[in-house]
Amino acid sequence: MTAVSVIGLGTMGQGIAVAAAAAGHVVAVFDQPERLEGCVRALSDRFARYTANGELKITAYGVLGDAVRGAEIVIEAVPEDLGVKHELFKDLNAHLDPAAVLATNTSSLPLDQLAGPVAAPERFLAAHFFNPAELIPGVEVAATPRTAQESIDRLTTFLHSCGKEPILVAPRAGFVANRLQLALFLEALACVEDGTATAEEVDAVIRRTVGFRLPAYGPFTIADMAGLDVYHAILGVLQTEYGPRFAVPERLQELIDAGRLGVKAGAGFREYSRSDAADLVGRRDALYRRLAEALA
């Protein structure tokens, strides 16, 4: 059981607090005093929806120092504003336990800039949850060069204990998920603007085709299964039609030149044995059947 404090009890802070409380951790929460009551009410509702019959055990504080006293892990989810986060970190310097790990839930702010006023940078890192945080299993974890390995280990242990899957990525703006989500969004918008489909039609295509695939495998495994030569041919057509944003990347060309065409060649972005290839298809099909039923 870990003593965890969640600072900022809006959309994300509520979900993070629900996930931690449902896992049996000792949870303290803090928000601006005038908002605290409403935030805690919303948090209670979310907890009830999440657990159905669990009892919510959190303590809400209107004073920052009280909320983080004795906390082993502090997660901030205040607005995505460098100034607001810096002010909070300055205040926290005076109150944090010397061993406390401080995790930011920033979506996009570069971690080295964010770390500026943090008094103990070796215990500062990012834990990027996704909304709704109580339900979405993945959490991007990013550390700066100054973050101690022990802090990463303590945060990931805590996340595992909440049933989360921490995924370590570099501390670059937007990490991985937001870069990919925004790239998809920009191309979706281009489809609408050039008249290929309406926004509703784009949403339907994503939900029922490429989005339907993604719970099984990410873009590299999907590409290996499709065949990198197939991707190469499609990119050639799209580049002619839509320009250089679809040019064949050097990395893809190198793999193709080396004969690494994907699963069918035994290697693409990864290596595959014959049994791997059969497993990939078997697991994919089993999951898609369950998904199709669940979504029907």
Ligand X SMILES: NC(=O)c1ccc[n+]([C@@H]2O[C@H](COP(=O)([O-])OP(=O)(O)OC[C@H]3O[C@@H](n4cnc5c(N)ncnc54)[C@H](O)[C@@H]3O)[C@@H](O)[C@H]2O)c1
Task: Give me the residues that bind ligand X (CB under 6 A), please.
Answer: 7-13, 30-32, 35, 39, 77-80, 84, 88, 105-107, 129-131
Q: Which is nearer to ligand X, 5 or 147 (CB)?
A: 5
If we measure between CA atoms, which residue out of 121, 111, 105 comes closest to residue 6? 105
Helix axes 250-257 and 228-242, enclosed angle (nearest 10): 140
- 27: left (phi > 0), else alpha (psi -120 to 50), else beta? beta
Given 3-state DSSP classes, what are the helix, strand and coil percentages for the chain, each rounded to the nearest 5?
55, 15, 35
Q: Which is nearer to ligand X, 93 or 196 (CB)?
A: 93
Q: Which is nearer to ligand X, 106 or 221 (CB)?
A: 106
Q: Which is nearer to ligand X, 109 or 226 (CB)?
A: 109
CB of 13 to ligand X, least distance (A): 6
CB of 6 to ligand X, least distance (A): 10
Phi, psi of 99 (to 5 degrees): -100, 0
First-last CA distance in the chain: 39
Check: CB of residue 111 under 8 Å from CB of residue 171.
Answer: yes
- 129: left (phi > 0), else alpha (psi -120 to 50), else beta? beta
Q: Is 131 annotated as a binding residue?
A: yes
Q: Is 107 annotated as a binding residue?
A: yes
Q: Which is nearer to ligand X, 94 or 237 (CB)?
A: 94
Report the residue closest to ligand X, judged by CB: 10
CB of 15 to ligand X, least distance (A): 8
CB of 107 to ligand X, least distance (A): 3
Q: Is 255 annotated as a binding residue?
A: no
CB of 268 to ligand X, least distance (A): 32
Q: Distance between CA atoms of 256 and 228, rounded to whole angstroms?
A: 7
Q: Is 31 annotated as a binding residue?
A: yes
Q: Is 80 annotated as a binding residue?
A: yes
Check: CB of residue 265 under 8 Å from CB of residue 225.
Answer: no
Phi, psi of 179 (to 5 degrees): -65, -45
Check: CB of residue 120 under 8 Å from CB of residue 146.
Answer: no
Q: Which of helix, strand or coil describes residue 136?
A: coil
Q: Is 168 annotated as a binding residue?
A: no
Q: Is 1 annotated as a binding residue?
A: no
CB of 65 to ligand X, least distance (A): 12
Q: Is 264 annotated as a binding residue?
A: yes
Q: Which is nearer to ligand X, 36 or 222 (CB)?
A: 36
Annotated binding site for NAD(+): 8-13, 31, 80, 85, 107, 131, 264
